[in-house]
């Protein structure tokens, strides 16, 4: 049935709640071997908008959690409330086919015998809401697939197939979109190509997206909120800017440890191809990559690219200096290194230093320092 009801374009109604509540307990016992068993025990609150990254190492339980939400793990005990509706509690288990969700897998699971349009039509028929022409046009535009509709999956690149698969999931008009490492099967170039579509999706579709990933760069670019899993347990949840600056989480000494800060473009320096962005901790100059003035950008600052000084050194090539206070220091067990957590305005930075520098500069908690950030360290 056709309808032009543009008000139904995947927006939440006023009575729907701002959060998703989820709590699951599930155990897999393999061959009665305790070493070979896995337990998931998660209790979390997720905002009912934007992208929440479910982040963790391989085997930490990310896919299992998505499967619980989708109702694909009937032995999982727990509670699930989405947009004010109870999908599961102690006495009730809504079957998968009644859960209003879109699911996107690592490999786009399109029907090979149908064109892209045929695949989308299939979703439209499956939706329990009337066809919405405005939504259809919006989804085609967001995913940039208007020109691909007559092609069969074999005539699409991996990235294009995945864009069609995401559009198909949205045309079911779900209350939530679940994405399980949707870029994992793509090479780096295809991944870079599809990321802007996912950003557009996040900014234009008003349903929550739970996005499984173990790639820090994807999380930094896409997610506002994160659930961090380790061995089936939730070890951290919250705003990505807060969670990724914590020193008490595993893996903090890895090469790509860093923080994510949202900033606003203030001005451009055409001569040197730079732009100045501002956040609560000050201004940063970074490579101009085509953003417009007043646009909000995310910058990722890696711990290895920050050095500390006790004064604002003017004779260094470093473009960015921020006044900071040291709030926490963590030393790695066997290494010569330490991580320093710094407060800059309302944000946090991490700096990786040698313990020798720390001692030499007498850096201790509470000390006021200058954080020197290489402008090249800011990735977007």
Ligand X SMILES: Nc1ncnc2c1ncn2[C@@H]1O[C@H](COP(=O)(O)OP(=O)(O)OP(=O)(O)O)[C@@H](O)[C@H]1O
The residue ranges that bind ligand X (CB under 6 A) are 28, 30, 38, 56, 58-64, 214
Nearer to ligand X, 58 or 368 (CB): 58
CA dihedral 26, 29, 34, 35 (to 10 degrees): -90
Nearer to ligand X, 30 or 126 (CB): 30
**Least Cβ distance, residue 81 to ligand X (angstroms):** 22
**Least Cβ distance, residue 248 to ligand X (angstroms):** 21
User: How far is 233 from 39, CA to CA, in rounded Å?
Assistant: 8
Nearer to ligand X, 149 or 184 (CB): 184
**Least Cβ distance, residue 58 to ligand X (angstroms):** 3
Name the strand (E) or helix (H) holding 357: helix 355-360
Nearer to ligand X, 43 or 264 (CB): 43
Contact 99, 71 (CB under 8 A): yes
User: How far is 297 from 280, CA to CA, in rounded Å?
Assistant: 14
User: How far is 145 from 119, CA to CA, in rounded Å?
Assistant: 12
Nearer to ligand X, 73 or 160 (CB): 73
Nearer to ligand X, 78 or 281 (CB): 78
Tokens of 323: 């006044």
**Least Cβ distance, residue 314 to ligand X (angstroms):** 47
Nearer to ligand X, 101 or 284 (CB): 101
Determine the length of the chain.
380
DSSP per residue, 198-222: HHHHHHH--S-EEEEE--HHHHHHH
**Least Cβ distance, residue 110 to ligand X (angstroms):** 21
Q: How far is CA 192 from CA 186, 211, 218, 271, 290, in A?
A: 9, 17, 10, 27, 16
State whether residue 120 is helix, strand or coil.
Answer: helix
Q: First vs last Cα of the chain: how many Å apart?
A: 43
User: How far is 233 from 62, CA to CA, in rounded Å?
Assistant: 10
Name the strand (E) or helix (H) holding 160: helix 158-171
Q: How far is CA 362 from CA 17, 130, 309, 326, 358, in A?
A: 49, 67, 11, 11, 6
List residues bridging with 29 in a β-sheet.
none
Nearer to ligand X, 61 or 208 (CB): 61
**Least Cβ distance, residue 78 to ligand X (angstroms):** 15
Name the strand (E) or helix (H) holding 87: strand 85-89
**Least Cβ distance, residue 91 to ligand X (angstroms):** 25
**Least Cβ distance, residue 75 to ligand X (angstroms):** 10
**Least Cβ distance, residue 354 to ligand X (angstroms):** 33
Of residues 15, 27, 34, 144, the one with CA closest to residue 84: 15
User: How far is 162 from 165, CA to CA, in rounded Å?
Assistant: 5
**Least Cβ distance, residue 140 to ligand X (angstroms):** 30
Nearer to ligand X, 56 or 159 (CB): 56
Nearer to ligand X, 114 or 184 (CB): 184
> Pairing state of beta strands 51-56 and 225-230?
parallel
């Amino acid at each position: 049935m056709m309808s032009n009801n543009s008000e139904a374009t995947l927006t939440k109604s006023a009575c729907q709640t701002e959060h998703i509540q989820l709590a699951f307990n599930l155990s897999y016992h393999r061959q009665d071997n305790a070493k070979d068993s896995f337990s998931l025990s998660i209790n979390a609150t997720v905002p009912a908008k934007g992208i929440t990254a479910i982040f963790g190492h391989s085997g930490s339980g990310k896919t299992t959690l998505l499967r619980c939400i989708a109702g694909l793990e009937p032995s999982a005990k727990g509670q699930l409330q989405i947009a004010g509706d109870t999908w599961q509690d102690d006495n009730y288990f809504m079957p998968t086919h009644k859960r209003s969700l879109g699911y996107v897998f690592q490999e786009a699971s399109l029907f090979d015998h149908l064109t892209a349009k045929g695949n989308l039509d299939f979703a439209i028929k499956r939706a329990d809401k009337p066809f919405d022409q405005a939504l259809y046009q919006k989804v085609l535009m967001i995913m940039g697939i208007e020109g691909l509709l007559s092609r069969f999956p074999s005539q699409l690149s991996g990235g294009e197939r995945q864009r069609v698969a995401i559009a198909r999931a949205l045309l079911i008009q779900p209350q939530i979109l679940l994405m399980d490492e949707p870029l994992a099967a793509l090479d780096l170039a295809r991944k870079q190509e599809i990321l802007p579509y996912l950003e557009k999706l996040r900014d234009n579709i008003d349903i929550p997206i739970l996005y499984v990933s173990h790639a820090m760069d994807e999380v930094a670019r896409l997610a506002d909120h994160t659930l961090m899993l380790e061995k089936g347990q939730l070890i951290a949840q919250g705003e990505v800017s807060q969670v990724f600056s914590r020193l008490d989480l595993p893996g903090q000494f890895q090469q790509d440890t860093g923080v994510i800060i949202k900033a606003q473009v203030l001005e451009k320096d055409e001569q040197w191809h730079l732009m100045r962005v501002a956040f609560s901790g000050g201004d940063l100059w970074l490579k101009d990559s085509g953003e417009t003035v007043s646009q909000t950008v995310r910058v990722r600052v890696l711990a290895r690219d920050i050095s500390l000084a006790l004064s604002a050194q003017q004779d260094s090539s470093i473009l960015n200096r921020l006044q900071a206070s040291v709030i926490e220091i963590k030393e790695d067990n066997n290494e010569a290194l330490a991580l320093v957590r710094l407060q800059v305005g309302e944000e946090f930075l991490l700096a990786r230093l040698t313990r020798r520098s720390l001692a030499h500069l007498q850096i201790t908690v509470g000390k006021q320092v200058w954080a020197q950030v290489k402008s090249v360290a800011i990735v977007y």
